[in-house]
A and B are shown apart, each in its own frame.
Chain A
Amino acid sequence: MATHHDVDLDIESLEETLGADEPSGLHPGWIVAILAMACFIAFMLLDAFESETYFYEADVAVAQGPDLIGQTVRVKGIVEPGSVVGEDGKLGRSFRIAEKGKSIKVHYGKALPDTFEEGIEIVAQGEVDDDYVLQADEVVVKCPSRYEGDAPTGAPKKQGKEGAPVVR
């Protein structure tokens, strides 16, 4: 007992022996993981910047002028009354969308959403061709709002259909 030199029962040297196995500083595995994460984030960000589609209101889009040709953009505007061209029962519609007096022509070959009609705000995404027509692959109409603030009043009805959002 006291005569045995039980070094391994000595608490301090015991801890030293155990502690000696742990590397000081960061385990290489952690460094690899952090680098991997950093690479991932870098690629993701670069890809995001490349995938950005510029978003313009119709007047700003028109103001871009020749720069707009060949670009893939998203344009928001209100469908000009009287500008919708197309045949019933057939796909493919052309129309103009306008914001603050300036308008741009949009052509969409697929099925327009149910809620599409004149006077409503839409967002169209696609490439602008040489004739300044936006060849849209996507047309989105604002979802009729549940939380619309407009409450009915007893005042005489303005020009517009009942239940329709009052649009400028």
Chain B
Amino acid sequence: MIDNQDLGTFALYYALVVCLIGTAISVVAGKTGSQRFVHASRFASYTGAGAIFVAGAVLMHAILTHDFSIQYVASFSDHTMPLFYLIGSFWGGQAGSLLFWTSVVAASMVSCVYIYRRSYQDFMPWVSAVCMAVLSGLLLILVFGSNPFEGFSIINDPTTGKGLNPLLQTPKMVMHPPSLLAGLATMTIPYAFAMAALITGNMSNAWVKAARKWILIPWLFLSIGNMLGGMWAYEELGWGGYWAWDPVENAAFFPWLMTSALIHSIMIQERRGMLKRWNIGLMIASFVLTIFGTYITRSGLIESVHTFAQSEIGDYFLALLLTVLAVSVSLFLWRWRDLKSDQRLDSPASRESAFIFNNWLLVVMTLVVLFGTMWPKIKEGLFGQEVAIGPPWFNRWMVPLGILLLLLMGIGTIIPWRRTTMAAFKRQFVIPILATAAISPVLLGAYWYGRGAALGVTPTPLESAYAIITVVCCIFAITTMIADVWRAMSARMRKHGEGAFESLSRLFIKQRRRYGGYVVHLGIVCSFIAFAGNALKIEQDISLDPGESYQIGDYTITYEGLTLENEADKDIIIGKMTAMRNGEHVYDLRPGKAVFHSSPNMPTSEIDIKTTPLEDLYVALVNHDPRTQAAAFKIFVAPFTWWFWLGGTILLLGTLICMWPTRYGIEALKPTPGVFVRATAFGALAVLCVTPLAVLTYESNSEWGSAKRFERLIGDGDGDENKNKLEQTPRDKVRTDQNREASGAAEAS
């Protein structure tokens, strides 16, 4: 009888062999152009991908049928998990997430090979070769380093699973890894096109034309992944922020920065045949950084709060990283001379120049973050002394660079191509500058006198300066966009006699990338407003007796008491508080905590966050005394945090507009069952873009967003298997973190 273990492992081995052979076949196809080898290479890619999908299906099947003879299934799932989390446990561990990554690379490769089966004939064999080579590398790691199908010996067969850490059982956290993994995986295709261009020596814009369609996909997934991670940190972890410059966070940020630069830089090559070296370099950097990021995440090389896997797999990734780096850089240097620009730069005050500056700025930002992340390790290697570089340093350098980026966004929108004459400057820049100068004091003053002063915040002069400059640059970026859109609209209205709304829609339809891009920029501007709001953040940790009040900003928070529920499997503690402002009742707050007896060292918090566009009021219950009901809280008032989520959503909608397929694109998918496939593809894309906001909304308005969800996690009446393993906890000995001494040393520990 073939069981899951054998089938899955066989599928992986088979896929590895096929991909290795397929790489060789593709190389021959590329060199000789023989149609037989081209067909064989396509066949190899479909077969290899098929084998990988089989392996994935087997693992999913094993998880859904609770096949605990497989170590991976037993480690990351259990009988009581709801279906949604069962599916999520596929990527809950090292080996599964690697298989997921491999599957996405395989899926993209198959789509690519199919879509371009009649075009890019000189590139496609090499694209297949590169994709299958990457797949071979990943499969080698899977098969030899981290096999998801490893089983137990019969003696060790467990009867139930270990389950997923309660902290991670929220929808956001289920979707964050696959999103990031998909972003890393889909980077392979545009990279393969760049490599194909270098190998064939075709230094025209061909690779760029192909890559530009694909490059938004990894960028989109990385954006969603980073956003979901930030949202989770903010809502679940209780330190009141969404980005901590942790090495693992940075690892997901590097490729995003480089891909952002590439997306812009490609436009210059398409228009004027310039920046060819930049584009190849940025593409290589984006791909290498995805592997580098994975390496530092999984090797445990760098101290991080996200410590993950153990060291054996780190070495495999290092080998993959060095191979990819060596091959890419050698090819790049080999073709360096052929990558000369078709045109020269006419003037430093031109759109081309602004884009070059943009490239440099994003590269510098990446290097700053890279340095801050890697320096501790380098210093340890060189001097033997371990050090840490914390968020203050990162913020000190990234904030001014970010502001420069924002300013450049405004300038780049309206600066003319080739050169800016005095007349052009007056025509383009004067109105936005005047509008910014007029609007900024009004908006800043309105906020300060309307709300900011009442909060009683006292930012340092530097923080205030940065916040004000950020807001001014945001307003500038918006006025330049409006100016450009208006100019185009009025031209259409005059020429075609269209109305305002019609001309605007037609602009969006005819130039999706440009106007979708403006929407994305709008999203970035909103995010910067949230960053500016951080300068005004108030944070307090306090402890209160029942009936006591505390003043934070202009809120008076009164603590009324606790409700305690001791249940067989967990204790639920909910604090009851009210917030008043100027004598008026504003909110009822219910921060809570659940301490599971099965894992009392991992209590889950339900932080109460009251969000308005102006500010967030954020209360977390930290600890409590069950006898006196005194409790300690962490309270934040964080202005403009909501704008980060709004910005992210707008960014995703903008990307949706950019990626909306053109008629030509649809043609490439034929012959297919037509409407159904197209509708599925577009539908999937739309769903993807609204996912983060949908998740957030669903969580806030359903059980997931309240302490009630604790009920679901353990499951009803299914805890029988667990009961034998639980240490029976007497009811009066409620376990809390700080109650250790009271309970006495008799406890097991």
Q: Which A residues have a C-beta under 8 Å from some C-beta of B? A: 29, 37, 40, 44-45, 47-48, 51-56, 74, 76, 81-82, 84-91, 93, 109-120, 123, 125, 140-155, 157, 159-164
Given that A88-B630, A91-B542, A162-B599 are contacting pairs, would A146 and B92 also be in contact in the complex, using a CB cutoff of 8 Å? yes
Q: Known contacts A119-B749, A151-B71, A154-B156; decide if A53 and B368 are in contact (CB<8 Å).
A: no
Please report which residues of chain B, range 577-599, place their CB below 8 angstroms from some CB of chain A when the two chains form the complex: 593, 598-599
Q: Are A152 and B375 in contact (CB under 8 A)?
A: no
Number of interface residues of B (CB under 8 A): 90
Q: How far is the CA of A123 from the CA of B348 in the complex (A)?
A: 49
Q: Contact between B74 and A161 (Cβ–Cβ < 8 Å)?
A: no
Q: Taking the complex as formed, is B372 at the interface, i.e. its CB lies under 8 A from any CB of chain A?
A: yes
Given A88-B625, A142-B307, A51:B392 Cβ within 8 A:
yes
Interchain CB contact under 8 A, A114 and B605:
yes
* B75 located at the interface, meaning its Cβ lies under 8 Å from any Cβ of chain A in the complex: yes
- Neighbouring A residues of B740 by C-beta, 8 Å: 81-82, 84, 117-118
B423 at the interface (CB under 8 A from A): no
B308 / chain A contacts, CB cutoff of 8 Å: 145-147
Q: Report whether A53 and B543 are in contact in the complex, using a CB–CB cutoff of 8 Å.
A: no
Smallest Cβ distance from B149 to chain A, in angstroms?
Answer: 13
Q: Are B306 and A86 in contact (CB under 8 A)?
A: no
- CB pair B541–A52 under 8 Å, yes or no, is no
Question: Which of chain B's residues have a CB closer than 8 A to the CB of A123?
Answer: 303
Would you give the shortest CB distance from B493 to chain A, in whole angstroms? 40
Given contacts A48-B371, A112-B622, contact A143 B600 (CB under 8 A): no
Known: A88-B739, A89-B631, A149-B310. 5 other contacts (CB 8 A): A37-B360, A48-B372, A111-B623, A151-B71, A153-B156
Q: Which residues of chain B (692-733) have a CB below 8 Å from chain A?
A: 725-727
**B97 surroundings in chain A (CB, below 8 A):** 147
Interface pair A48/B738, CB less than 8 Å apart: no
Contact residues in B for A47 (Cβ distance below 8 Å): 393, 396-397
Q: Which residues of A contact B543 (CB under 8 A)?
A: 89-91
Alpha-carbon separation in the docked complex, A85 to B739 (Å): 10
B273: A residues at CB distance < 8 A = none
A4 to chain B, nearest CB (A): 32
B107 to chain A, nearest CB (A): 23
| Contacting pair B626 A151 (CB below 8 A) | no
Closest beta carbon of chain B to A36's beta carbon, Å: 11
* Assembly CA distance A85 to B396 (angstroms): 36
Q: Is B437 an interface residue (CB 8 A)?
A: no
The 6 A-B residue pairs with the shortest CB-CB distance in the complex, in nearest-first order: A89-B630, A88-B625, A89-B625, A163-B599, A111-B622, A55-B386
Query: Are A152 and B158 touching (Cβ within 8 A)?
Result: yes
Contacts of A29 in B (CB 8 A): 348
Q: Which B residues are closer than 8 A to A by beta carbons?
A: 71, 74-76, 92-94, 97, 152, 155-165, 167-168, 238-239, 298, 303, 305-310, 348, 360, 364, 368, 371-372, 375-376, 379, 385-390, 392-393, 396-397, 541-543, 545, 593, 598-605, 620, 622-634, 725-727, 736-741, 745, 748-749
Query: Do B620 and A146 have beta carbons less than 8 Å apart?
Result: no
Partner of A115, one of B164, B601, B739: B601
What residues of chain A lie closer than 8 Å to B305, measured between beta carbons?
Answer: 140-143
Contact call B389/A152, Cβ cutoff below 8 A:
no
Q: Which of B307, B389, B624, B739 contacts A51 (CB 8 A)?
A: B389
9 cross-chain CB contacts under 8 A: A47-B396, A51-B393, A52-B376, A111-B633, A146-B76, A147-B309, A148-B75, A150-B75, A164-B601
Query: Which of A125, A141, A142 has the most CB atoms of chain B within a 10 A radius of its CB?
Result: A142
A47 to B400, CA, bound (A): 15
Chain A contacts for B634, CB-based, 8 A? 110-111
List of B residues within 8 angstroms of A54 by Cβ? 385-388
Bound Cα distance from A112 to B727, whole angstroms: 26
The CA-CA distance from A91 to B625 in the complex, in Å, is 11
What is the CB-to-nearest-CB distance from B575 to chain A, in angstroms, rounded to a whole number? Answer: 11
Q: A162 contacts which of B604, B725, B736 (Cβ < 8 Å)?
A: B725
